[in-house]
Amino acid sequence: MSAPFPSTGFRLTNVSVQLGGKPVLSDLTLSLSEPRIGILGRNGSGKTTLLRLLAGLISPTQGTLTLDGIDPARDRKAMLSRLGILFQNPDHQILFPTVEEELAFGLRQQGQTDTAARAAARAVLANEGRAHWATASTATLSQGQRHWLCLQAVLMMAPATILLDEPFAGLDLPAQSRLTRRLAALPQRLITVTHDPASLSGADRILWLDDGRILQDGPPDAVLPAFTAAMDSIARDDHDTALPT
């Protein structure tokens, strides 16, 4: 694997996002540069919107956001070597009928010829003991294998930062531990968005997002116990009867 691009990280200045006139993220000012960052929150806390914002898939309603000084929503070309995104559902990420095409696509986007990109894809597969996957149909892979393919397709482009959306959702236990091991070994900066505190115990920094704001920001041994306690208390006292406004 080639060495990732040197990266100074994300910088958010007074960022707010409104979707359909509703505020989803309010006045975030953050600097994200640690190697392992977790973004923790309940469903509806705005964490998916934050992920899509960091990914450059949406632009802030107010404020500015940059990765290494570049606006990710504007300059998609510059993002190719800086930012990779692992979506939650592999079926939404895999774009091609065969494994080789899927892996080669990113390299072609980065300007390589079709022949070179396919050769690189086959080399990676061979290196990982998966040479026989090249012509396999992506639809026939198991859930864990599709996750592997999605991550590998992102890694082929050697981005310095990778955004992960609930990376463990839908994986069985062996697949989860394989993925944990694989992620831990990566030289890239990883930003993981999840509702599951257990998966973030190895992080350097955790942001607890609630109602579009940062409720707590710190190391796992400070944030995780507080988050778990708060979730337990919500489950005890609140019967989830209020409709979203």
Binding mask of the shown chain, residues 25 to 54, with x at each position contacting other proteins by CB under 8 A: ---------------------------x--
Cα–Cα distance for residue pair 187/183, rounded to 1 Å: 9
Structure tokens at 33: 């540069």
Please say which residue, 87 or 148, places its beta carbon nearer to other proteins: 87
Q: Does 22 bind other proteins (CB under 8 A)?
A: no
Cα–Cα distance for residue pair 86/163, rounded to 1 Å: 6
According to DSSP, the β-strands at 10-19 and 22-32 are: antiparallel
Which of 174, 150, 173, 175 shows the shortest CA–CA distance to 163?
A: 150
Please say which residue, 114 or 217, places its beta carbon nearer to other proteins: 114
- Measured N-to-C along each axis, helices 143-156 and 114-127 cross at an angle, to the nearest 10 degrees, of 130
3-state secondary structure of 23: strand
Please say which residue, 89 or 216, places its beta carbon nearer to other proteins: 89
Q: How many CB atoms lie within 10 A of CB 63?
A: 15
Please say which residue, 110 or 145, places its beta carbon nearer to other proteins: 110
Q: Which of 18, 110, 112, 180 binds other proteins (CB under 8 A)?
A: 110
Within positions 130 to 159, which residues make up the interface with other proteins, using CB under 8 A?
A: 137-139, 153, 157
Binding site for other proteins (CB under 8 A): 20, 52, 55-57, 76-77, 80, 84-85, 87, 89, 91-97, 101, 105-106, 109-110, 137-139, 153, 157
